[in-house]
Amino acid sequence: MSETPTKRELRQWGDYLLNGFTFLVYVFMFAPIIVVILLSFNSSEFGSFPIEGLSLRWFEKLLANEVIIRAFLTSASLGILTALIGTLVAMMSAMALVRYRVPGRKLFSSLTIAPLLIPETALAVGLLLLLRSLGLPRTYMLLLIGHVLITLPFAFLVIQARLSGLGRTYEEAASSLGANALTVFREITLPLTAPALVAALLFAFTISFDNLTASLFWRPNGIETVPTQIFAMLKDSVSPEINALGTVMVSITIGLSLLAGAIGSRLASQAAAGPDN
């Protein structure tokens, strides 16, 4: 009897240790965010320490700065479209490669993750040369599909890992019970892969939103994304408005993630409950 509490204690300490370590990782991940948020309230002309006084002037300037607002809207719409298209395309590929016996499956898998391996600088220049030889202009569509290409490997890897981890037991069970393919997909496959789909959407959006190199080359004239705008501004000086923009975006994200978190955990609990019932 005397052994059990000790074990429990040990286990508890183990949990504390793990939670404590996780907390430290979060602190590390958040350090730059905290810096950016602090600096966005700094009244100083320069985007750096020390904090000379608190002020909301950079938020006012941000709201008045059409260029950054426009860049933000471009990046946001580009990110959302990239995430939707990229996840859909990746899901289709993963389904084809995991659930069917396709000849050359390995080749196609490798091809799908190949955009990861090619330095973006080279990919970017290569695509421009291709456009020139075809006499095509740079358009928003080109930038969008380019972003889909860049995010495809990430979305594909996440979804594929989930799909292959699942096995097909549940799907086979459902179809042997007479469900048609669409029903199986909607009732079984989709809920079970939901966590990976959410992860893929998020991944694709953030990667697109944060992409610099490829956007620099592929954007049509007159279009700026947030990263390209910042890159151009760096030449001059880091305007504190950028810090204010960061703060606004983090606030939006926290709001959105509370929402998405609620939806996500509901989806996950449905998914967990689904096959058992």
Partner 1 sequence: MTRYPTTNYLEDLRQRYKDGDIDRRSFLRSVGMAGLSVGIVGLPGTSLAKEKVDEIKYHSWGGVVQEAMRRTGIASFEDATGVKVVEGTFGLEEEVLAKARAGQPGDYNIINSAGNSWYKRWMDAGFGVKLNLDNIPNAKNVMPALMQPFWDITPDGLSALPFSYGNTGIAYNKKFISEEQALEQREGLLINPDLADKISGHNDFQTRMWVAALQSGQNPNNIEDLDAVWAKIRENRSLVKKYWGSGAESIELLASGEVYASDIWSGRATSLIERDPDFGYVDYSKGYCWCSDLLVLKGSPVEVCEEFLNFILDTDVMIATAEAQLYPPSVDPTKVELTDKIRSFPNFDPTGTLEQFAFSDPFYWTKHEKDWKPKYARIEKGF
Partner 2 sequence: MTRAETSTKSRGVEVAKPWILLSPSLVILFCFMVLPMTIMGAFTLFLYVDIGVDAPDLGLRNWNVFFTDPYYHYAVWKTARVALITTVVCVVVGYVPAYVIATTRSRHRWLLMLLLLLPFWISFVIRTMSWIHVLGAHGAVNTFLMWIGLIDAPLEMLYTEGAVIMGLVHFLMPFAILNIFVSIESSDRSLVAVARTLGATPVGAFFSVTLPLSMPGVATGALLVFVLSAGSYVTPIILGGPDDFLFGNLIFETIMTQLNWPMGSTLAIALALILGGIIMIYSRYFGLERLTKGLT
Query: What is the footprint of partner 1 within residues 81-140 (CB under 8 A)?
Result: 125, 128-129, 131-132, 135, 137-138
* Tally of CB atoms within 10 A around 9: 10
Residue 231 makes contact with partner 2 by CB under 8 A = yes
Q: Is 219 helix (H, G, I), strand (E, B) or coil?
A: coil
Cβ nearer to partner 1, comparing 67 with 173:
67
Site string for partner 2, 25-64 (x = CB under 8 A): xx-xxxxxx-xx--x--------xx---------------
Find the farthest-apart pair of alpha carbons in the chain and give their distance in angstroms, rounded.
Answer: 82
| Residue 273 binding result from partner 2, partner 1, none, given CB thresholds of 5 to 8 Å by partner type | none
Cβ nearer to partner 1, comparing 121 with 253:
121
Q: 42 pairs with which residues across the strands?
A: 54
| Residue 138 binding result from partner 2, partner 1, none, given CB thresholds of 5 to 8 Å by partner type | partner 1
The CA dihedral of 31, 33, 35, 36, to the nearest 10 degrees, is 160
- Return the residue matching tokens 């456009």: 131
Minimum CB separation from partner 1 for residue 78, in Å? Answer: 16
Q: How far is CA 139 from CA 20, 87, 146, 206, in A?
A: 49, 22, 11, 22
What is the C-alpha separation between 207 and 154, in angstroms, rounded?
Answer: 9
- Return the residue matching tokens 């298209």: 85
Residue 253 makes contact with partner 2 by CB under 8 A = yes
- For residue 156, give both structure tokens: 């594909």
Contact between 191 and 271 under an 8 Å Cβ cutoff? The reply is: yes
Site string for partner 2, 180-219 (x = CB under 8 A): ---------------xx-xx--xx--xx-xx-x-------
Phi then psi dihedrals of residue 42, to 5 deg = -75, 130
Ranges within 92-121 binding partner 2 (CB under 8 A)? 92-93, 95-100, 102, 105-106, 108-112, 114-121
Minimum CB separation from partner 2 for residue 1, in Å? Answer: 18
Residue 94: closest CA among 197, 174, 191, 206: 197
Residue 45 makes contact with partner 1 by CB under 8 A = yes
Cβ nearer to partner 2, comparing 20 with 222:
20
| Residue 12 binding result from partner 1, partner 2, none, given CB thresholds of 5 to 8 Å by partner type | none
What is the C-alpha separation between 118 and 168, in angstroms, rounded?
Answer: 33
Task: List contacts with partner 1 (CB under 8 A).
Answer: 45-46, 48-49, 67, 125, 128-129, 131-132, 135, 137-138, 216-217, 221-224, 228-229, 231-239
